[in-house]
Amino acid sequence: MGLHRLDLTLPQPLHGTAASRAIERAAAGALPSHTLMRRAGVAVARLAMALAPHARCIWIACGPGNNGGDGFEAALELHRLGRPVAVSFNGDAARLPPDAADAGQRLRQAGVPLAAQAPAQFDLAIDALLGLGATRPPEGPLLAHLRRMHAGTAPVLSVDLPSGLDADTGQFAAELGAAGAAARHCLSLLTVKPGLFTAKGRDLAGEVWFDDLGIDPSSTPPDAFLSGRPAPAARPHDSHKGSFGDVAVIGGAPGMTGAALLAATSALHAGAGRVFVGLLEADAPALASEYALMLRAPGTLPLDRLTVVCGCGAGTALGDLLPTAIDQAAALVLDADGLNALAADRRLHDALRARAATGRPTVLTPHPLEAARLLGTDTPAVQDDRLGAARRLADAFRCTVVLKGSGSVIASPDSTPRINPTGNARLATGGTGDVLAGMVGAALASGLAAADAAAHAVWWHGAVADGWPAGRPFSATQLAREAGRGLVQR
């Protein structure tokens, strides 16, 4: 498909650096020289004109490799169409790769000067400094140009990747300072890169566009998928409360009952047939707001018939309940203090693997710190490679893992991970993770397989936050009551 804005409701294969280079090599070998770069330049120019049709100056910042070559080709096309361009080049002209050298030469022949500096004023900045080949954080003039774009008000269009962003991980090591008001766009070329959708990727890329340059990438396996919108769960008219499964939430130690109640409330609203709450605080106050929740002593719950959501607000009070839940639960979601208890006791690791061998589904929902504890590392190491961390956890525990945060990663053993595109910083507030755990529980209880239940819940959890009306106060409590957006009534 040609140039288009990426439709985030559709699943999308994501190819990292090595896969993208393999696809490029195969395609370039079958095409006349310079074809891919010329197609890339035309696509960038078309998008630039659509984004800033009345620009009086389009700044095209070109770097030392083929990403800069894409910038040269875009400048040529814009110049040919009579658009005012100012091209900067920071690199060694003698060491440009062949495609980029050819484009640079034709640009000079067309009478377009190459400066080292940015223009004094511009209405659109095209970032063609670094793409897949960024091997170290930008510095010197490249960093100065990026900071200028980042702090400004003119829209920024990144070619292939925001320069310096790691295509595989979304890691970005340079310090750009506070962002200005500029709208951001990124045109991913040939393949869509996973790093655009997790860690620092979302903030730096902004709106993601894609042009496959006429090449079909399907012969090379993707490194991940972007989750598409899951089909809403249908509820036939001829249903009863037993049709959608029973969820039990175990958690809520003294002072933290709210977390368990949030998970239970969201499980209820997300469509579970019945929701039990096994609070660890014995004398919890009566539940004022959700009368449909059924309070039970945690030790009395028939775990082998329940989808158990274990750990929300549990503190250190789970005791034997955790090994029992791992051993018995029909389906299991481990969150928060359930994960911390797991991290602290290697016998539970074995128990979780033994559980996997029985075929009963399990989903772990760590945030990056919880994931770090489980992996015996620190949060920055997890964030440096979110896909890798989620995959390692899924393989180690033989179950589905949701690594939460910007671009939540859903990984299952021996399968390609998914990155979730929904959600926003509204969710960065206390209790939203408890709500997610309840939603995963409801999805599992409805009979979805673990990976699909996790993807379904994470997608709709984020979608509710994305669709939140401007001006309406947002809280985890409100979110829990909107958790049923992914349901349709027949």
Ligand X SMILES: NC(=O)C1=CN([C@@H]2O[C@H](COP(=O)(O)OP(=O)(O)OC[C@H]3O[C@@H](n4cnc5c(N)ncnc54)[C@H](O)[C@@H]3O)[C@@H](O)[C@H]2O)[C@@H](O)CC1
Ligand Y SMILES: Nc1ncnc2c1ncn2[C@@H]1O[C@H](COP(=O)(O)OP(=O)(O)O)[C@@H](O)[C@H]1O
**431 touches, from ligand X, ligand Y, K ion, none (C-beta below 5 to 8 Å by class):** ligand Y
Q: Which stretch binds K ion (CB under 5 A): 83-91, 163-171, 212-220, 344-352?
A: 163-171
81 vs 369 by CB, closer to ligand Y: 369
* Closer residue to ligand X in complex, CB, 37/389: 37
Which of the choices K ion, ligand Y, ligand X, none does residue 127 contact, using the CB cut-off of 5 to 8 A by kind?
K ion
315: helix, strand or coil: coil
- Least distance CB 110 / ligand X (angstroms): 19
- The interface partner of residue 230, options being ligand X, ligand Y, K ion, none and the CB cut-off 5 to 8 Å by kind, is none
The least distance separating ligand X from the CB of residue 489, rounded to whole angstroms, comes to: 46
The yes or no reply on residue 17 touching ligand X (CB under 6 A) is: no
Q: Pick the binder of K ion from 159, 176, 442, 445 (CB under 5 A).
A: 159
For residues 253 and 265, give the distance between their C-alpha atoms in angstroms, rounded to a whole number.
17
Nearer to K ion, 145 or 418 (CB): 145
Contact between 74 and K ion (CB under 5 A)? no
> Residue 177 is encoded by which pair of tokens?
């300072």
Q: Which secondary structure element, helix H or strand E, spans residue 488, and what is its range?
A: strand 487-489
- How many angstroms separate the CA atoms of 325 and 303, rounded? 7
Query: Residue 423 binds which one of ligand Y, K ion, ligand X, none, with CB within 5 to 8 A depending on kind?
Result: ligand Y
Write each residue from 20 to 59 as x if it is in contact with ligand X (CB under 6 A), else as -, in one continuous string.
Answer: xx--x-----------xx--x-------------------
Is residue 263 within 8 Å of residue 334, measured between CB atoms?
no
- Is residue 409 a contact point for K ion (CB under 5 A)? no
Q: Which of residues 41-70 bind K ion (CB under 5 A)?
A: 67
* 3 state SS of 452: helix
Q: Site for ligand X (CB under 6 A): which residue of 67, 171, 400, 446?
A: 67
Partner whose binding site includes residue 446, from K ion, ligand Y, ligand X, none (CB under 5 to 8 Å by kind): none
User: How many residues of this chain bind ligand X (CB under 6 A)?
Assistant: 29
Which member of 77, 102, 160, 434 binds ligand X (CB under 6 A)? Answer: 160
Residues within the annotated binding site for AMP? 404-408, 433
What is the distance between the alpha carbons of residues 164 and 133, in angstroms, rounded to a whole number? 9
For the bound state, the minimum distance from the C-beta of residue 282 to K ion, rounded and expressed in Å, comes to 58
Question: How far are the Cα atoms of 83, 183, 458 from residue 154, in angstroms, in the given order?
Answer: 17, 7, 34
Which structure tokens are listed for 232? 């809403």
- On whether the CB atoms of residues 244 and 441 are closer than 8 A, the answer is no
Q: Which of 26, 35, 106, 133 binds ligand X (CB under 6 A)?
A: 133
Strand order in the sheet with 224-226: 12-14, 224-226, 418-419, 409-411, 400-403, 362-364, 331-334, 307-310, 246-251, 274-279, 294-296
Residues 6+ apart with CB under 8 A from 59: 85, 86, 87, 88, 118, 119, 122, 124, 125, 126, 154
In the shown chain, the binding pattern of residues 182 to 221 toward ligand X, with x for contact by CB under 6 A and - for none, equals -------xx-------------------------------
Angle, helices 35-51 vs 98-109, to 10°: value is 60
According to the binding rule CB under 5 A, does residue 17 interact with K ion?
no
Closest CB to ligand X among residues 44, 439: 44
Task: Please give the single-letter amino acid code of residue 313.
Answer: G
C-alpha neighbours within 13 Å on the C-beta side of residue 67: 28
What number of residues does the chain have?
A: 490
State the DSSP code for 204: H
Contact by Cβ (8 Å): 435, 263:
yes
20 scored as a contact of K ion (CB under 5 A) = no
117-146: contacts with K ion (CB under 5 A): 127
Contacts of 185 (CB under 8 A, 6+ apart): 47, 51, 155, 156, 157, 158, 205, 206, 207, 208, 209
Interface region with ligand X, contact rule CB under 6 A, candidates 2-10, 16-24, 418-426, 479-487:
16-24
Question: Which of residues 222 and 368 has its CB atom nearest to ligand X in the complex?
Answer: 222
Residue 370 interacts with K ion (CB under 5 A): yes or no: no
Give the binding site for K ion (CB under 5 A). 67, 127, 158-159, 163
Give the binding site for ligand X (CB under 6 A). 20-21, 24, 36-37, 40, 63-70, 97, 130-138, 142, 159-160, 189-190
